[in-house]
A and B are shown apart, each in its own frame.
Chain A
Amino acid sequence: MHRIVVLGGGTGGTLAANRLRRALGTSEASVTVVDQDDRHVYQPGLLFVPFGLAHLDEIVRSRRRQLHRDIEYLQDPVDRVDIAERRVHLGSGQVLGYDVLVVASGAVLAPEETEGLTGTGWNEKAFTFYDPEGAVALAGALEWFAEGSLVVNVVEMPIKCPVAPLEFCFLADWFLQQQGVRDEVDLTYVTPLDGAFTKPVASRRLGGMLEERGIELVTEFNTGEVDYSGQRGRIVSYDDREVAFDLAVVIPVHNGAPYVARSPGLGDALGFVTVDDHTLQSSASPHVFALGDAAAVPTSKAGSVTHFEGEVLVENVRRFLDGRPLDASYDGHANCFIETGFSKAMLIDFNYDVEPLPGRFPGPVGLPLMKESHLNHLGKLLFQWLYWHSLLPGRDIPGVHSAMPAGGKDRGELSESEVSTS
C-alpha cells in the first residue's frame, strides 16, 4: 500500500488529493491531507470584500468537508520534512512516513519584511486585502473614505494573483464613483514592474485602462518602508522616492510556508519548492511533488495555474508509483478573469512561452480575450460555483484543459521583436 501525504488543504492540496483518491483504489494507496486549520478561503473572493460585494461567511468553508470521505485529514501544523528519511514531522510530534509527498502549502504574506507593515499604522492607515482580516478592516476604512490619496502598492514580486492589485484599482474607481466621491480622490498604482503588467501586450492594454480611469501609474518603485509619522503617510522606495497617501492598500512580499525553510533541500531562498517546470517533480527528491503557489515555477501564482498543474501532477504521481517515465506536459498555462468594474471583466490566457494575447477563449467562438465584457464578469461569478463543485472535487470543467489552447488567439498586436521573445 502506497502512502501519499499532501501538505496543505487549499486549492492545490484539495484538488490533488481528491483526484488521487479517485484515481487510486483504497487498497492501492492511502491519502492523508495535513493543514493547520479548518478554514478553506476562496481567495479570489477576497478582492470583493473591501467593496462590500462579498462577505467572509460566503467565501470561507471547512477544509475537511471539501475532501473525499476516504481521505484522512489531520489538523496539525507541519514542523519540517526530512527528505532523506521520507518523513514529515508535525507540530504535535506525530511523524508521517510517505512514498509520495505533495507540497501544496501555498504562499504566506510576510509584512514583517517591510518596515512599517506591522505595528502602529498597519490596519489603521495601510491595509491589505490579501488576507481575510485585512480585507474586512479595509472595507471599514473604504466606507468612510471621502477625499485624499488612495495608493495601491505591490511591494515585490512574486505575489498571488498578480492581476488582483490592478482589479482592486478598477473596482476602487467604480466604488468611489458609486459613493459620489471619485473627484475628491487621487488613485495611484505603485508597482516594482516597469509597466502595469509584465508582458508587453497585456501591459499596454492594462496600462491604457488605468489611464482611461485617471489612475496614476508609478513604475519601478521598490518599497523599502511605509511611514506614518507625518500627517499623511508615505511609501518610501529603496532609492528614496516617495509617494504620499491618506489610505494605502499594500500587498506585502510573499514567502513559501515557513516549514519549507526548515526542511533542508526542499525549497529556494524564499521557501518555494523547486520542481521541474513541466513534470512538477522536486529537484531534491523523486518522491516529492509540488503544485500551486508553493511551487517555484515561472508562471503566475494563481488558482487556474494550480488547477492545470493538478491534472499533470496526479498523472505523474501515478506514473511514479508505477515506475513509469513522467509526463512532462505542464506548459505554464494560466487563465485569469480581471474584474474591471461596472459589472465587466476581461479574460487573459497565457503560458510559459506565449504571453497574454487578444482573441477568444478557448476557441474562435469563446469568451473575448483581453477585452472588457459583461460576459466575462458573469464568467467570473460563475467560477465561484465551479470552484466548490467542480474544481475542488477534481472534476473536469468542460472546454478548459491543462494545456493552453492556441486556436482563438490573435498574434497581430505583437511587434516583431516581441514575437521572437514571447
Chain B
Amino acid sequence: MTTDTIAGSEIQLDDEGFLVDPTQWNEDIAVELARREGIEPLTDRHWQVIRFMRSEYEEKGTGPTVRVLGKTSGVPIKELYQLFPKGPAKLAAKIAGIPKPRGCI
C-alpha cells in the first residue's frame, strides 16, 4: 500500500494502484488517474462508464465485469475497449476509484 498526492489530496493506493478507500474519490482524481493511464481527455462516454461503475459498486459492493458492462452500461463492448484499452473493467474501476472487480475462479 502506498500514499500518493493526487489532484492535491493524499490518497491511499493498493499495490496495483486502486484506491483503498472509494470515498476519497472525486472527479479531479479521476482525471489525474486517467492521465497516468494515458487516457486524456475523459469524454462524456468515459464519464458514462465511470459513473455507472460507481453506482454499481455502491449498489452491489463490487464493480461489474466487461460482459456485464457491455450488457448494462449502454456502451457496447467494442467501444469499451476503445475507451479503456486492454482491460475496460479493470481500468474503468481504477479510474472510478473502486476496488479491482472480484475475479471469478
Contact = CB atoms under 8 A, between A and B. Distances in A.
A253 B67 contact: yes
B102 A270 contact: no
B35 interface: no
A197 B72 CA distance: 27
A158 interface: yes
A113 to B, nearest CB: 8
Interface string B75-105: 0011011000111000000000000001111
A239 B102 contact: no
A315 B15 CA distance: 40
A193 B86 CA distance: 12
- Give the bracket for the number of chain A residues in contact with chain B: 20 to 34
- Range class of the B interface residue count: 10 to 19
Interface in A332-350: 334, 350
B53 interface: no
Contacts, number: 47
B33 interface: no
Given A239-B81, A239-B85, A270 B104 contact: no
A298 B102 contact: yes
Contact of A417 (B15, B67, B103): B15
Contact of A157 (B15, B65, B80, B85): B65
Contacts of A269: 64, 68, 71-72
A222 B105 contact: no
Classify the interface of chain A: helix, strand, loop or mixed. loop
Contacts of B78: 224, 238
Contacts of B86: 220, 239
A300 B15 contact: no
A158 B78 CA distance: 20
Interface of A: 156-158, 162, 193, 197-199, 220, 222, 224, 238-239, 253, 268-270, 298-300, 334, 350, 417
Given A156-B65, A156-B67, A239-B81, 6 more contacts: A199-B105, A238-B81, A253-B67, A269-B71, A270-B68, A417-B15
Interface of B: 15, 64-68, 71-72, 77-78, 80-81, 85-87, 102-105
9 contacts: A198-B104, A199-B105, A222-B81, A222-B87, A238-B77, A239-B85, A269-B64, A270-B68, A417-B15
